[in-house]
Amino acid sequence: MVHIIEGALPLWECAGGYAITFLIIALILGIKRIRLEDIPTISLVSIIFFTASFIHFSIGPSSVHPLFNGIVGITLGPFSYIGIMIALLLQAVLAGHGGISTLGVNTIDMGLPAIIAYFIFKLCIKRLSNLKQVALLCSGLGALTVLLTLVLTIIALVIADPAYLIPAIALVVWHGPIVVIETVITGIVISKILKVRPSIFIRVYGESITKVLK
Amino acid sequence: MFTEKVLPKYLNNSFFSKILTIFTITTLVVLIVLSPAVHAHAIRAKILNTTEYVWLKVKVYFPGTGPAKNIPVNIYSPECKEYTLCPPECTPFMITKTDSDGYVEIMVPKVEGIWIVAAIADPAHRVCKRINISKTGVMITGSESIEMPEPLLALAGIGYFLGIAGIAMIIISKRRTK
């Protein structure tokens, strides 16, 4: 549901979506310089987001799928926005999932919650002392990113046509299982990656993150 | 043997490395430009049969998950000239629903022009098909797509990401060698 398709939004909203997305990307690149060494990590982690959309199942009259933008956000930090945009572009071009005209809006819907998850994780990680607490925090962030994504998608759809408010809100209920799935998987995946490969997180959060491994 | 001895030797060769990088980037760009418009998740309507009476049997389904049951299907006559939005901002000629198997049968008068069939499961899952009725026959345009297995699509996308990662790693390796 969160991938808004071609033709669902008016032209001015699509243009606005692109403008905001490019502004966010410019801000990210202005604040934090992307290094060549970051590109393989961004690509590989974005695969998680890209492939998650292919695992879909019917609930009610709709079809839902996991997103894992929480995992991408926590792992990549602000660069998750760029990774998500590339993944969305590939999904639109290869699989007709989403659309080229709606790419800007879709990137905001799914990329912003990822960045928010990164900031919350960055704020909270200093106060955590072990992996169990990290897993719990990431589980919460997994659920939060899905809910934020749904809220942003509903806002985008309602701006286009206020008549979609009620059916769009009903979709939140159908996404209940997705929230549960992402809650569990985000907690497990992040704590496991942190345990096995802390260097990925050290790049984003600094050496201080290793204290949760002790 | 290959990865330990042969590959580093070629990667360190600046000419080979340049050619490999250009080739990889070109392949990625060309493939993405030429990639077919396949639909993995959106609802798709298929015109299964057309006759001289313009009888349409439309199947609406979520590829991979099955039929879109009991969802509204709107039909717009050629008077509606709105082709950018889906569904178009016009008064529907007819409003119907898919059955429990995702099928809907529509009979439209043989009025020449572009008819639009719009299926709307929810605000984000909709599809519009354009049916062009002319003297020569009935032609379906719009978001008709090529059937491709979903694992293949996922694999293609993973390939692009690995390609991007690969190019970055080639350049990193080249810089370190220098």
Q: B123: domain CATH number?
A: 2.60.40
Least confident window among A111-115, A181-185, B8-12: B8-12
- The band of A200, judged by pLDDT with boundaries at 50, 70 and 90, is confident
Residues B52 and B123 in one domain: yes
CATH number of A11-213, picked from 2.40.50.100, 1.10.1760.20, 3.10.450.50, 3.90.950.10: 1.10.1760.20
Q: Are residues B130 and B61 in the same domain?
A: yes
| Phi, psi angle pair for B85, to nearest 5° | -95, 150
Phi-psi map region of B47: left, alpha, beta (phi>0 left; psi -120 to 50 alpha): beta
For residue A204, the distance in angstroms to the closest alpha carbon of chain B comes to: 18
| Domain residue extents for chain A | 11-213
pLDDT at B40: 45
In angstroms, how far apart are the furthest CA atoms of chain B?
Answer: 73
Task: Indicate if B132 and B51 belong to the same structural domain.
Answer: yes
Lowest mean pLDDT among A89-93, B84-88, B111-115: B84-88
Residue B24 predicted with pLDDT over 80: no
Residue B144 has a pLDDT of 46
Q: B93 and B120: one domain?
A: yes
Q: Are B113 and B76 in contact (CB under 8 A)?
A: no
CA distance B20 to B16: 6
Q: What are phi and psi of B121, to 5 degrees?
A: -85, -45
pLDDT of A184 reads: 93
> Number of structural domains, chain B?
2
Q: Are residues B53 and B114 in the same domain?
A: yes
Shortest distance between the Cα of A99 and any Cα of chain B, in A, equals: 10
- pLDDT for residue A118: 95
φ/ψ of B78, rounded to 5, equals -60, -10
pLDDT surpasses 50 at B37: no
Rounded Cα gap, residues B10 and A177, in angstroms:
50
* Least confident stretch, A2-11, A71-80, A185-194, B27-36: B27-36
**Which residues, including other chains, have CB under 8 Å from residue A151's CB and lie 6 or more apart?**
none
Contact call for B145 and A86, based on CB within 8 A: no
Mean pLDDT of A18-45: 91
- Which chain A positions have a beta carbon within 8 Å of B128's beta carbon? 7
Q: What is the mean pLDDT of residues A152-165?
A: 87
Interface test with A, best of B147, B161, B172, B175 (most A CBs within 10 A): B161
Specify the pLDDT at position B21: 67
B32 and B54 together in one domain:
no
Residue A31 tokens read as 């604040």
Beta bridge partners of B76: B116
Sign of CA dihedral A163, A166, A172, A175: negative
pLDDT level of residue B52 (50, 70, 90 thresholds): low
- pTM comes to 0.77
Domain boundaries, position B159 = 2-36+150-177
Is B15 exposed, middle or buried (CB count within 10 Å of its CB: 0-12, 13-18, 19+)?
A: exposed
Those residues whose C-beta lies under 8 Å from the C-beta of residue B44, and which sit 6 or more positions away, are B59, B60, B61, B63, B127, B143, B145
Residue A104 binned pLDDT confidence (cut-offs 50, 70, 90): very high
Rounded to whole angstroms, how far apart are CA atoms A101 and A97?
Answer: 12
φ, ψ at A59 (rounded to 5°): -135, 125
B109 and B62 in a single domain? The answer is: yes
Contact B172 A1 (CB under 8 A): no
Does one domain contain both B74 and B114?
Answer: yes
For position B50, what pLDDT does the model report?
61
Highest average pLDDT, of A186-200, B4-18, B76-90, comes from: A186-200
Residues A70-102 have pLDDT tens digits of 999 999 999 999 999 999 998 888 777 888 889
Signed CA dihedral, A94, A155, B75, A11: sign only: negative
Same-domain status, B50 and B135:
yes
Same domain flag for B116 and B138: yes
Are B164 and A3 an interchain contact pair (Cβ–Cβ within 8 Å)? no
Q: Largest alpha-carbon pair distance within chain A? A: 53
Return the residue in B65, B80, B100, B122 with the most chain A beta carbons within 10 A, the one to mutate for interface testing. B122
Q: Identify the closest residue of chain A to B88 by CA–CA distance.
A: A7
Q: Are residues B118 and B158 in the same domain?
A: no
The interface predicted TM-score (ipTM) is: 0.77
Computed over every residue of chain B, the mean pLDDT equals 73
Task: Return d(Cα A76, Cα A115) in angstroms, integer.
Answer: 9
Q: Does B87 share its domain with B58?
A: yes
Q: Which of A1-10, A109-118, B139-148 has the lowest mean pLDDT?
A: B139-148
Measured in whole angstroms, the distance separating CA A179 from the mean position of its chain's CA atoms is 13
Residues of B in contact with A40 (CB under 8 A): 165, 168-169, 172
Neighbouring-strand partners of residue B137 = B134
